[in-house]
Amino acid sequence: MKIAIASDHAGFPLKEEVRDYVRKLGHEVEDLGAYNTEPSDYPDFALLVGKALIAGTVERGILICGSGVGVCVAANKMPGVRAGMCHDTYSAHQGVEHDEMNVLVLGARIIGSALAYECVDAYLKANFIASEPRFVRRLNKVKAIEKTYMPDAAGTTLAS
Ligand SMILES: O=C[C@H](O)[C@H](O)[C@H](O)COP(=O)(O)O
């Protein structure tokens, strides 16, 4: 798969490790920064990953900040982006299988790299279970909310 990864300064050390790990798994990774620990603003990086998803240049995203909260909130402001903060492997695969999560969010000040790798593994191996009507019904409801409250974004959302 093609994956976009980005972090702010707080997420930078973990982002470097996760990026290398994802490449080792055989995926193509687009590293959208940050490129050092100089103080930066997490929305800038959430925006870059969201834009790559919306443009269709990547299939999935990974975002990292200090807690994970900031990039998660910011990414979910973009149509078609379904970001979930997962610090356990169950959420990391279930979020894709049930909710078609397309951005995995990690908090670099919360988890260590070993658990982060396992979460990334679970996330990247998982697929949305489109044959399950209840998951599709719920996802369509999420999309309907998006359409209602982001009407100006109609047409810019991701194809699912
Ligand atoms: O949710 C926000 C993120 O965790 C940021 O990474 C965090 O606020 C950065 O904190 P500081 O500017 O104190 O390094």
Per-residue confidence (pLDDT) for residue 83, from 0 to 100: 98
The response to whether residue 41 sits with its C-beta less than 6 Å from ligand 1 reads no
Indicate the CATH number for domain 2-153. 3.40.1400.10
Per-residue confidence (pLDDT) for residue 152, from 0 to 100: 76
- Measure CA 115 to chain center: 17
Q: What share of the chain is helix, strand, coil (3-state, %, to 5)?
A: 50, 15, 35
| Predicted complex: ipTM over 0.90 | yes
Task: Write the residue with the smallest CA distance to atom 6 of ligand 1.
Answer: 66
pLDDT band, residue 160 (cuts 50/70/90): very low
Q: Tell which atom from ligand 1 comes closest to the C-alpha of 70.
A: 1
pLDDT band, residue 151 (cuts 50/70/90): confident
Task: Read off the pLDDT of residues 34-67 as tens digits, 9 standing for 90 and up.
Answer: 999 999 999 999 999 999 999 999 999 999 999 9
The response to whether residue 65 sits with its C-beta less than 6 Å from ligand 1 reads yes
Task: Read off the pLDDT of residues 71-111 as tens digits, 9 standing for 90 and up.
Answer: 999 999 999 999 999 999 999 999 999 999 999 999 999 99
Buried b (16+ CB within 10 A) or exposed e, 94-109: bbbebbbbbbbbbbbe
